[in-house]
Amino acid sequence: MLNVEEGDDLLSTELNEETMEAIEEARSGKYAGIIDTSNMENFIKSCE
């Protein structure tokens, strides 16, 4: 069983730096746009 105390930051010890940066970006509320999944061509265009 994992012993977790208040204030422990488990994410910073278990995830790599790139993952942590992605989490922080997501938490910031920055809008990334809309991904169109109606068909493959639109999907690729919406990811550019």
Q: Each residue of 20-38: pLDDT tens digit?
A: 888 888 888 877 788 899 9
Residue type, 10: L
- Please tell me whether residue 18 adopts helix, strand or coil conformation: helix
Is a pLDDT exceeding 80 seen at residue 7? Answer: no
Q: What are phi and psi of 8, to 5 degrees?
A: -65, 140
User: Mean pLDDT, the chain, as a whole number?
Assistant: 79
- pLDDT on residue 26: 84
Give the residue-averaged pLDDT of 1-24.
Answer: 70
Evaluate whether 46 touches 35 at the Cβ level (below 8 Å): yes
Give the residue-averaged pLDDT of 14-22.
Answer: 84
